[in-house]
């Protein structure tokens, strides 16, 4: 042993001893490492190495862990580093340990793997990048550690330089939030490998985002992970650069830019993508905030126009952008009229939203009912039984249309298509598809409906039959199916009903209950009923027929090949083709030529203009009875044969029924025994439960035909249910009186049995039950919405005051008491209500200004109309044949004429216009809670712009934003009221009438809040727009006292004509004013009484309501007063000034 060996041994011993002071793992690891390193390191180095370890261990109490890790990692690290670098590595660790042992631990731990990819000279930089994250807190140290740990992974894809940038980014972000930075780190590890090549660009973007609006980094990474990776490499870089440029100019929502950008780019053809990004760049150069809007809207725009047309649209938008940024944003969001118009003029497609009003009015004209027109997707979203978001349909009160029609090359044709499908859907309403009544006789057929047994009746009949057998006495009492004399079956069918009465929600349900194969029945009925509608349209609206035929021909072309279908389906398809007007080349299974002839005849019968829905139903029974006998088996192509044209069909002219009614009855009576052998011996045959599976060999399950797209989804049962509900609301259903409330069970029962629902259940097997119950719930909600009895009053924060309490006294200033009319007692309750008059708080004047600016067209129009009124007001009329006074000039002229001896002018008088305007009007706005309801689909809130970066400021900003509620992205009823008032105020100022604006709400009789927005004698000032701004929904609606108070104000005004203009959104309601049935009446009567009082004071009341259900109570409340129920609330701003003008001139 050499001395150096000794020395070495010595130093090792010393080290050992010193290491022994620390917890055991330190020494253990040292030993392990030493053994391996001993030969590989120079002694000196080895010693330095050991000392380094010792130093680490002794740094702080916890640093022994770092030392242990150090020894652990040393072996692996040493293999990759020259000794000088190796010690440097160790030193770096030591200095990290000074900051925090856990940093050092992480450093050492990740070193072996990191060294694989890290050049030795970068070790220091690496440590510094990570260390920069450390700020002495636990969170910062955890983050720094994570970066150490992640380094090996990161370096797999990142260059060291990129790594440094990433570190910098994390550091910036970590100043705001360690959590966000941690998340970003994790996300980065995931993301970077997927976007190699663009990492640096992305990090750069992330860095800017972190600086400008750090909250969005998470979203940025999310959207990058979700979408950016889906984008092809060539377009990734430009898109990221674009987002970066936008981020620099202060446009937030880089995440959105990426997401929308990727979405958009992926949706357009590859050769157009570069051009698209160029276009976006072009916009960004002029107006950065408009660029994201553009990216987002492109897919929507491309649904309407071609790519090149979009170019024109974009160019036009750029012109706008140069003028104003706001305008540019609106333009590219497709929110400005100019933009819409531009697009419209470029495109040949028809957008429902653009022509909705026209179609709606068209529907109103045709049916005489206010039919709403909606996008089909809206109905599917409701999830109440309709599933297609594309096909036109109706549920009896609204027609649903595809939102865009782009089938043809010209606008006219596309509109024509829309008109065709609307006309067909309206046809269902106009020609009474949903007014089906089981008991109304058909006009063309012998009625079978009352003679057929329902499925449940069959069951009941069986029971009766058995008991009858037991009695075994009375032959006519034995219900022998099908053997009853023709006149009797009604009785036979009627009797069992007493045994088990089954209630049907609708007549349609009762009708479909007649069938075993409900779906077949529905399909048959659908074809026949649609044919009937088409027949009516053809007769009554020949003007649309050219287009109608075109649409039908197009539908025919889209039909499936008959020869591919099994026999029964082929025959149903045959019916559809006949109904669509096909006459030639009608292929039919040879075996069933006769069946086809009969079906064809049925369709022709219901197509006549005399046919009613009950005829379609009878025809459906017949079609069903024919079809059910056809086995649904495969038919060879060769076994199809062409049916001769109708002219050659000898039976076509036959007056006879296509089927023998008696035969049908026999068949239906026996339908629970599908093998048909039961005929004649029903006692045996019908003992089995209805069994659908016992179809013959080789038979296929029947499936419904493909929908005819212009006819859309036809759901007679549901539609009947929904439209009945609506009619009740409108007071059209008087005969049956009050309908029992519908229960969930009843609905379930109906849904279970409804053939229109069956198809869905088979499609989505799993979770079907849940889906159905969800649907039922939605349906129930929908029904409640339509049922006026279920309109709930939302109570405000109510102080309890006994409703039976006595009169109130007004003690405070600005409080007034008014009596209330009790119609039950037929007398006033004296001083029953207390009105608190307040001046509306001040808001911002912006609303007023913006409203006027947005509606500048309308403003000008109203102004013009109002100006026509003005001249009459002050005019002194001269040269009249008769009047108050001689006009001196005229008299002189006349005298001169007389002297000369010519006939003088006879018009010598003047007169002040007797119609001199002297009008005072008070507007009373309903500020009840219900005016908070949104009037249209809420648009997604997208404007987080302008959110301050500083957390404290952010909170302040957020709070103010919430409290103001200014940036609400949807419109409420009250907003429209405000708009209307704004426009009106503007015009009233022009006309010079005396006017006041008031709002009212409150809770309970002692708290009727009465807000003054502008008092009668107040001059218009800046305050008025500010107060208008603050109009907002409050509590309940106690109309009576508010009207009385307004009337009192009007009574003081000096004017010849006085008007009280009430604008409300619903019936009067308040605690103790409207709750139960009687109270509801109470409210209506009190309101009426208050209006009568006003009239006695010489005031003309007028009520404008936006409550669609308004007609019922308005009739009572406003009996001989004028009122108007607005069919569409958005009309209010336009209508209000019009009404005002009509009313007062």
Partner 1 sequence: MATEQKYHEQNIEDHYVTEEPFYVPTSDEIDIFESAYRQRVPILLKGPTGTGKTRFVEHMAWRLSEGITARNPGTAATNGAGEKLPLITVACHEDLTASDLVGRYLLDADGTRWIDGPLTRAVKAGGICYLDEIVEARKDTTVIIHPLTDHRRSLTIDKLGTTIEAADGFLLVVSYNPGYQNALKDLKHSTRQRFVALEFDFPEEEREAKIIAHESGCDSDTAERLARLGLKIRNLREHGLEEGASTRMLIYAGRLIKEGVSQRRACQVSVTWGITDDPQVQRSIDEVVTSIFA
Which residues lie near partner 1 (CB under 8 A)? 357-359, 361-362, 364-368, 370, 419, 423, 540-546, 881-882, 894, 898, 901-906, 908, 914-915, 1057, 1059, 1100, 1102, 1122, 1124, 1127, 1139, 1142-1145
Short-list 912, 526, 578, 444, CA closest to 712: 526
Work out how close the CB of 351 gets to partner 1 at its nearest, in angstroms, rounded to a whole number: 15
Q: CA-CA distance, 272 to 396, in Å (whole number)?
A: 45
Q: How far is the CB of 792 from partner 1 (least distance, A)?
A: 29
User: Of 424 and 598, which has the nearer Cβ to partner 1?
Assistant: 424
146 or 424, CB closer to partner 1? 424
In terms of CB distance, is 158 or 1139 closer to partner 1?
1139
DSSP percent split of the chain into helix, strand, coil, nearest 5 = 60, 10, 30
| Least distance from partner 1 to the Cβ atom of residue 980, Å | 17
- Which of 338/545 has CB closer to partner 1? 545
**Whole-number Å distance between alpha carbons of 718 and 433:** 12
Strand order across the beta sheet in which 919-926 lies: 815-822, 827-839, 1008-1014, 994-1002, 919-926, 1057-1064, 1099-1105, 1122-1125
Nearer to partner 1, 232 or 543 (CB): 543
Between 362 and 816, name the residue whose CB sits nearer to partner 1.
Answer: 362
CB of 362 to partner 1, least distance (A): 5
Between β-strands 1099-1105 and 1122-1125, what pairing exists: parallel, antiparallel or unpaired?
parallel
Torsion sign across C-alpha atoms 101, 105, 106, 110: positive
Closest by CA position to 1043, among listed 1083, 985, 994: 1083
User: What single DSSP character describes residue 511?
Assistant: H
- Would you give the distance in Å from CA 1108 to the centre of its chain? 20
* Minimum distance, C-beta of residue 919 to partner 1, in the bound complex (Å): 9
Give the separation between CA 1018 and CA 1009, rounded to whole angstroms.
20
- At closest approach, how far in Å is the CB of 405 from partner 1? 15
SS (H, E, C) 787-833: CHHHCCCCCCCCCCCCCCCCCCCCCCCCEEEEEEEECCCCEEEEEEE
Nearer CB in complex with partner 1: 91/1134 = 1134
365 or 952: CB nearest partner 1? 365
Minimum distance of partner 1 from residue 1127's CB (angstroms)? 6
Tell me the two tokens of residue 423: 């006309």
Residue 1102 CB, shortest distance to partner 1, in Å, is 7
Residue number, 551 or 567, with CB nearest to partner 1: 551
* Among 625, 626, 607, residue whose Cα is nearest residue 616: 607
Question: Three-state DSSP class for 375?
Answer: strand
Question: What 8-state DSSP symbol labels residue 1020?
Answer: P
CA distance linking residue 491 with residue 464, whole number of Å: 13
Interatomic CA distance for residues 991 and 533, integer angstroms: 52
Q: From the centroid of its chain, how far is CA 288?
A: 30
β-sheet bridge partners, residue 835: 816, 1008
Nearer to partner 1, 553 or 1122 (CB): 1122
Nearest alpha-carbon partner for 1013 in 990, 988, 991: 988
* Nearer to partner 1 (CB atom), residue 585 or residue 882: 882
Render 731-749 in DSSP notation, one character per residue. T---TT-SPPPPPHHHHHH
- Residue 1040 near residue 1090, CB atoms below 8 Å: yes
Please say whether the beta carbons of 131 and 144 come within 8 A.
Answer: yes
- The DSSP secondary structure of 10-22, one letter per residue, reads HHHHHHHHHHHTS
Least distance from partner 1 to the Cβ atom of residue 1060, Å:
11
Q: Which of 567, 701, 560 is nearest to 633 (CA)?
A: 567
CA dihedral for 840, 842, 845, 851, sign (positive or negative): negative
Q: Distance between CA 680 and CA 672 in Å, rounded?
A: 14
Least distance to partner 1 from the beta carbon of 543, Å?
A: 5
Instruction: Assess contact for 972 and 1004: CB atoms under 8 A.
Output: no
Smallest gap from Cβ 882 to partner 1, in A, equals: 4
Our CB check for partner 1 shows the closer of 771 and 1124 to be 1124
In terms of Cα–Cα distance, which of 213, 217, 251, 257 is closest to 239? 257
* Rounded (10°) CA dihedral 311, 315, 321, 326: -40
Nearer to partner 1, 85 or 861 (CB): 861
The distance of closest approach from Cβ of residue 774 to partner 1 in the complex, given in angstroms and rounded to an integer, is 36
Instruction: Give the residue with the Cβ less far from partner 1, 622 or 1088.
Output: 1088
Q: Which is nearer to partner 1, 642 or 1122 (CB)?
A: 1122
Q: Taking the complex as a whole, how short is the minimal distance between the CB of residue 981 and partner 1, in angstroms?
A: 20
- State in angstroms the smallest separation of the CB of 355 from partner 1: 9
Distance (Å, whole) CA 789 – CA 41: 92
Q: Smallest distance from the beta carbon of 897 to partner 1, in angstroms?
A: 8
Q: Helices 567-579 and 593-606 sit at what angle, rounded to 10 degrees?
A: 30
Of 61 and 902, which CB lies nearer to partner 1 in the complex structure? 902
Q: Which two tokens stand for residue 1124?
A: 């108007």
Nearer to partner 1, 315 or 1142 (CB): 1142
**Shortest CB 1047 distance to partner 1, Å:** 15
Minimum CB separation of residue 784 from partner 1 in Å reads 27
Closest CB 283 distance from partner 1, rounded Å:
33
Q: What is the largest CA-CA distance in the chain?
A: 162
E strand or H helix at 361: helix 352-367
Is 205 or 350 the residue whose CB approaches partner 1 more closely?
350
Buried b (16+ CB within 10 A) or exposed e, 281-297: ebbbebbbbbbbbbbbb
């Amino acid at each position: 042993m050499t001395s150096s060996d000794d020395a070495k041994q010595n130093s090792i011993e010393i080290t050992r001893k010193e290491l022994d002071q620390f917890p055991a793992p330190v020494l253990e690891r040292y030993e392990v490492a030493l053994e391996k390193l001993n030969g590989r390191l120079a002694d000196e180095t080895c010693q330095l190495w050991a000392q380094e370890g010792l130093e680490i261990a002794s740094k702080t109490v916890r640093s022994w862990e770092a030392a242990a890790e150090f020894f652990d990692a040393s072996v692996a690290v040493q293999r990759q580093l020259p000794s000088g670098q190796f010690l440097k590595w160790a030193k770096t660790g030591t200095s990290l340990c000074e900051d925090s042992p856990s940093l050092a631990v992480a450093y050492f731990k990740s070193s072996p793997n990191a060294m694989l990819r890290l050049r030795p000279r970068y070790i220091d930089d690496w440590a510094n990048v990570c260390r920069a994250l450390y700020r002495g807190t636990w969170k910062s140290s955890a983050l720094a550690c994570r970066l150490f740990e992640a380094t090996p992974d990161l370096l797999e894809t990142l260059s060291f330089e990129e790594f440094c940038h990433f570190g910098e980014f994390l550091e910036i972000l970590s100043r705001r939030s360690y959590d966000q930075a941690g998340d970003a780190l994790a996300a980065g590890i995931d993301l970077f490998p997927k976007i190699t090549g663009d990492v640096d660009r992305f990090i750069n973007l992330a860095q800017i985002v972190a600086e400008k609006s750090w909250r969005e980094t998470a979203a940025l990474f999310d959207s990058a992970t979700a979408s950016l990776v889906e984008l092809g490499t060539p377009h990734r870089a430009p898109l990221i650069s674009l987002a970066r440029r936008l981020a620099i100019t202060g446009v937030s929502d880089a995440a959105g830019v990426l997401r929308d950008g990727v979405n958009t780019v992926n949706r357009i053809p590859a050769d157009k993508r570069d051009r698209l990004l160029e276009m976006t760049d072009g916009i960004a150069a002029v107006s950065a905030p408009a660029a994201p809007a553009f990216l987002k809207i492109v897919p929507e725009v491309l649904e309407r126009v071609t790519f090149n047309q979009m170019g024109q649209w974009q160019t036009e938008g750029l012109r706008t952008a140069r003028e104003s940024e706001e305008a540019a944003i609106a333009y590219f969001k497709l929110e400005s009229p100019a933009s819409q118009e531009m697009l419209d003029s470029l495109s040949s497609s028809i957008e429902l939203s653009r022509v909705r009003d026209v179609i709606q009015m068209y529907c109103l004209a045709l049916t005489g009912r206010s039919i709403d027109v909606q996008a089909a997707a809206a109905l599917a979203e409701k999830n109440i039984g309709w599933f297609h978001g594309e096909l036109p349909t109706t549920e009896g009160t609204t027609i649903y249309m595809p939102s865009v029609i782009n089938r043809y090359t010209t606008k006219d044709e596309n509109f024509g298509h829309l008109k065709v499908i609307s006309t067909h859907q309206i046809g269902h309403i106009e020609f009474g598809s949903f007014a089906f009544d089981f008991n109304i006789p058909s006009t063309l057929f012998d009625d079978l409906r009352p003679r057929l047994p329902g499925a449940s009746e069959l069951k009941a009949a069986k029971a009766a039959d058995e008991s009858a057998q037991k009695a075994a006495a009375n032959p006519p009492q034995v219900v022998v199916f099908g053997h009853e004399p023709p006149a009797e079956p009604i009785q036979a069918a009627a009797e069992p009903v007493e045994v088990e009465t089954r209630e049907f929600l609708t007549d349609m349900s009762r009708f479909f209950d007649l069938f075993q194969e409900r779906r077949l029945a529905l399909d048959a009925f659908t074809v026949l009923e649609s044919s009937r509608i088409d027949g009516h349209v053809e007769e009554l609206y020949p003007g649309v027929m050219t287009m109608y035929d075109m649409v039908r021909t197009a539908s025919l072309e889209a039909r499936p090949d008959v020869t591919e279908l099994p026999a029964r389906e082929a025959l149903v398809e045959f019916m559809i083709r006949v109904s669509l007007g096909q006459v030639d080349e009608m292929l039919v299974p040879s075996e069933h030529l006769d069946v086809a002839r009969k079906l064809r005849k049925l369709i022709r019968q219901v197509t006549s203009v005399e046919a009613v829905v009950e005829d379609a139903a009878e025809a459906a029974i017949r079609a069903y009875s024919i079809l059910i006998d056809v086995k649904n088996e495969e038919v060879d192509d060769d076994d199809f044969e062409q049916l001769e044209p109708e002219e050659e069909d000898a039976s076509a002219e036959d007056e006879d029924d296509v089927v023998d009614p008696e035969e049908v009855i026999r068949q239906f009576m026996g339908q629970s025994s599908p093998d048909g052998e039961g005929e004649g011996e029903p006692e045996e045959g019908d003992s089995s439960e209805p069994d659908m599976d016992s179809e013959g060999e080789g038979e296929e399950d029947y499936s419904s035909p493909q929908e005819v797209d212009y006819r859309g989804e036809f759901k007679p049962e549901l539609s009947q249910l929904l439209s009945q509900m609506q009619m009740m609301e409108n007071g059209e259903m008087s005969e049956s009186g009050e309908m029992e409330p519908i229960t969930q069970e009843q609905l379930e029962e109906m849904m279970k049995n409804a053939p229109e629902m069956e198809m869905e259940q088979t499609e989505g097997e799993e979770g079907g039950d849940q889906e159905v119950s969800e649907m039922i719930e939605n349906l129930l909600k929908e029904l409640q919405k339509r049922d006026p009895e279920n309109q709930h009053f939302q109570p405000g924060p109510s102080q309890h005051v006994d409703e039976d309490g006595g009169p109130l006294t007004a003690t405070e200033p600005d409080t007034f008491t008014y009596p209330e009319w009790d119609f039950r007692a037929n007398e006033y309750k004296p001083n029953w209500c207390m009105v608190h008059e307040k001046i509306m708080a001040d808001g911002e004047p912006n609303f007023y200004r913006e409203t006027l600016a947005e509606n500048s067209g309308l403003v000008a129009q109203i102004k013009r109309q109002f100006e026509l009124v003005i001249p009459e007001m002050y005019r002194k009329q001269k040269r009249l044949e008769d009047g108050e006074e001689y006009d001196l000039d005229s008299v002189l002229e006349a005298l001169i004429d007389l002297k000369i001896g010519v006939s003088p002018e006879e018009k010598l008088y003047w007169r002040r216009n007797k119609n001199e305007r002297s009008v005072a009007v008070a507007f009373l706005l309903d500020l009840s809670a219900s005016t908070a309801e949104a009037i249209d689909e809420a648009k997604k809130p997208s404007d987080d712009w302008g959110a301050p970066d500083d957390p404290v400021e952010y909170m302040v900003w957020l709070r103010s934003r919430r409290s103001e509620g200014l940036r609400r992205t949807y419109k409420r009823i009250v907003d429209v009221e405000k708009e209307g008032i704004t426009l009106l105020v503007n015009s009233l100022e022009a006309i010079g009438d005396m006017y006041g604006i008031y709002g009212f709400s409150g809770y309970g009789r002692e708290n009727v809040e009465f807000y003054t927005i502008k008092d009668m004698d107040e001059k218009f000032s800046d305050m008025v727009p500010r107060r208008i701004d603050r109009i907002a929904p409050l509590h309940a609606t106690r109309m009576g006292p508010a009207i009385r108070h307004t009337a009192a104000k009007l009574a003081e005004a000096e004017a010849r004509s006085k008007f009280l203009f009430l604008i409300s959104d619903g019936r009067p309601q308040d605690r103790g004013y409207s709750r139960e049935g009687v109270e509801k009446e109470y409210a209506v009567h009190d309101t009426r009484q208050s209006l009568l009082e006003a009239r006695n004071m010489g005031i003309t009341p007028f009520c404008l309501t936006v409550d669609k259900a308004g007609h019922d109570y308005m009739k009572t409340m406003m009996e001989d007063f004028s009122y108007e129920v607005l069919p569409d609330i958005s009309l209010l701003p336009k209508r209000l000034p019009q009404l005002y003008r009509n009313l007062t001139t």
